[in-house]
A and B are shown apart, each in its own frame.
Chain A
Amino acid sequence: MNNIIKRYIPQILAILFVVLIFGFLTLNAQTNMDNRGIDFGFGFLSQESSFDVQFSLIEYSGSDSYARAFLVGLLNTLLVSFISIIICTILGVIIGVARLSSNYLIKNSAAWYVEFFRNIPLLLQIFFWYYAALRALPMPEKADAWFGVTYMTVKGYYIPAMVWENLNVFLYCGLAAIIAIIVLRNYANNLRDTQGKQIPVLLYSVGLLIVLPLLSFLFGGVSLEFEIPELKKLSKISYIYEGGISLPPELIALVLALSLYTSTFVAECVRAGIEGVSKGQKEAAASVGLTPNQVLKLVIMPQALRIIIPPTTNQYLNLTKNSSLAAAIAYPDLVLVFAGTALMQTGKAIEIVSITMLTYLTISLTIAAIMNWYNKKIEIKEK
């Protein structure tokens, strides 16, 4: 009993201490706000925002509430983080593997790439891609078509929009293909374990993924049309494209800067991971008769991933937090829309900043949780 008390007293005191600090901060803020006649409360969230946002994934106009403006900003932050994470991972893996290449040119250009992009401050890179690239891009009326139907202009990248008919049938077919692939894999594993036969699962999987959705076009009544952007005159000298989807240059510049910058760190993680697996593993795997592909897939990668995942998670978290630099180039992310315009219009600094902080915390913790789950899944399972 005595022991238990001794053990818990420091912990209780520590909690008490934290509570006291927060209590003090809250009290202090409250007194100061009272003195200055500032109200505290979250009622403003349901008020009309009365400002517009440049780019939004959901329907939004100035007559919507501040809460919806928050959602617009949040989705834009998630969008830019999601795209950048995917691009930086792909790039990072390629560059990381390239750094280990035996080809002198590939190896050194990869090394140069890493040293160049990771040693320039991110904000400068964002400014570079936005202002330098912006000035170099043509006005809409002078833009050449890329791939026939897309236009890269100073006002954004215009791409055709897809107009679907019976989209749900197409999606069901895609789902069916995925289920079929899982079944096939289990069957193939079973076949290998019981009879030692190998079938090219990857080839079949890709085939399924293409053929099944394709069938939906032929028999399911699915049709897909493209709405191609067309030049429209705004005034004597200014034009825009109408129809299709327009990706604002702010988004493109931000994605470019974030993914190029973070890919260098991912590349280093990948290189570390692969180099971290001892040579003996590769040689042992080869000596039991595995093909080079199997060596990489079954022996090297599972071990390398264990080293790669935790530091890469950090890079994903950094990327997401860095996306808040968006405000510098007018990309309407959470910081610009909510902690910027909304804060200014309402003056609710404490409320809005704490909501924003909590939101970033939640996003980061979610990413960390997903990556930790994945890490758990691939870590050594001692039997």
Chain B
Amino acid sequence: MNNLKTIKYDRGIKMFKYSKKLFAFFAVLSMIFVVACDQQAGKQSKGKSKTLENTKKRGFVRCGVSQGLPGFSNADASGNWTGIDVDVCRAVAAATLGDASKVKFTPLSAKERFTALTSGEIDILARNTTWTLSRDADIGLTFVGVNFYDGQGFMVRKGSGIASTSEFNNGTSVCTNLGTTTELNMRDFFDSRGISYEPVVFEKADEVVAAYDAGRCDTYTTDKSGLAAQRTKLSAPDDHVVLPETISKEPLGPVVRQGDSIWEDIVRWSLNTMIEAEEYGVDSTNADMMKTSNNPAIKRLVGAEGELGAAFGLDNDWNYRIITQVGNYGESYKRNIADTGILPDRGPNELWTKGGILYVPPAR
């Protein structure tokens, strides 16, 4: 009996010592957390672009792109990214850091892209992303413009004899990508026509292609540019045809995080510069000559007149660098989309002066 008591007493003392140590440990830890909380709360930038500062400090632009969509953002065997989305990020790098190659590309699935941007993993999302009201307003994102006007279409097997979307029957199985406006448009399309369909939804574009190729689905739907690009990955591309109808508007463009309006402006005007340069006939080959042009609008575009960069905290050659290092929109389109055989015809992505709908506010 006595023995037992001693043991209990001993334990009590040990416990007391132990608890003292524990107490000190927890006290210190909680203090650290309180301090950390305070720092978090005080993190607010005013007047300056935090993103720009961080980018300069880091030495590269962090850009989110697709996991491989030829023409938009696609990496070759040696890891070089090309595409018109890629060129937007390169333009921003040229404008802010002076070197178009200083971009770190992060391939993202459709599902991951917005979270990566809002959580600060990337600073620009240039991933053939459709500009919609709910995306712009709801989830902490801001769309800065449109670098490709697209629309959703359908691809079917040539042998099916289907020549128009009006010929789809009840029970059609449709392969598509997860987490895109495609899923919503598809529902609008089939519901409004009263056709029952089977959506087969994959996370990666390559998986959609493989399943469609294997005959799992009767049709493959996504943006028409995407269909044209993915068709090249099929085992027999010539056996498939993209139907003429366009069932939705898909203005694709770069996106930035909400809350840094200067960074937003830099990305917007980097894109606009590329488009305006094409409008005024300025390209990577003649930009030097244009510095002595008679047209003040052109001189402003190549940084020979005005102080356009100052508003963003950039030097005056920012737009000149975009044009010389990346090229104008027409060059980018030709290099990435026309010459690769994806969509040789520019369609709506032609300048407004040439019958398209590319129209940007004046850079002045």
Contacts and interface: CB of A to CB of B under 8 A. Distances in A.
B327 to A, nearest CB: 33
Contacts of A336: 178, 201, 203
A28 interface: yes
A135 interface: yes
Q: Do most interface residues of chain A lie in helix, strand or loop, or is the interface mixed?
A: helix
Contacts, number: 172
B179 A340 contact: yes
Contact of B18 (A10, A21, A248, A332): A10
Contact of B12 (A3, A32, A332, A340): A3
Contacts of A330: 200-202, 207, 211
A238 B157 contact: yes
Interface stretch (A47-55, A104-112, A291-299): A47-55
23 contacts: A6-B16, A6-B19, A13-B22, A13-B26, A17-B29, A24-B36, A27-B41, A32-B40, A50-B184, A51-B183, A51-B184, A52-B183, A54-B200, A134-B211, A233-B169, A235-B167, A236-B159, A240-B171, A329-B207, A330-B202, A330-B211, A340-B179, A345-B134
A32 B201 CA distance: 32
Given A236-B159, A336-B178, 20 more contacts: A6-B12, A6-B15, A10-B18, A16-B30, A31-B40, A36-B259, A50-B184, A51-B199, A54-B200, A134-B211, A139-B215, A234-B218, A237-B161, A328-B203, A332-B201, A336-B203, A340-B179, A340-B203, A341-B201, A347-B139
A343 B138 CA distance: 12
B160 to A, nearest CB: 4
B114 A347 contact: yes
B245 interface: no
Interface string B34-45: 001100110110
Contacts of A341: 178-179, 183, 201
Contacts of B15: 6-7, 10
Interface of B: 12, 15-16, 18-19, 22-23, 26, 29-30, 33, 36-37, 40-41, 43-44, 110-111, 114-115, 118-119, 134-135, 138-140, 156-157, 159-162, 167, 169, 171-173, 178-180, 183-184, 186-188, 190-191, 197-203, 207, 210-211, 214-216, 218, 257-259
B135 A134 contact: no
B30 A17 contact: yes
Given A35-B259, A328-B207, A9 B171 contact: no
A344 B198 contact: no
A126 B162 CA distance: 33
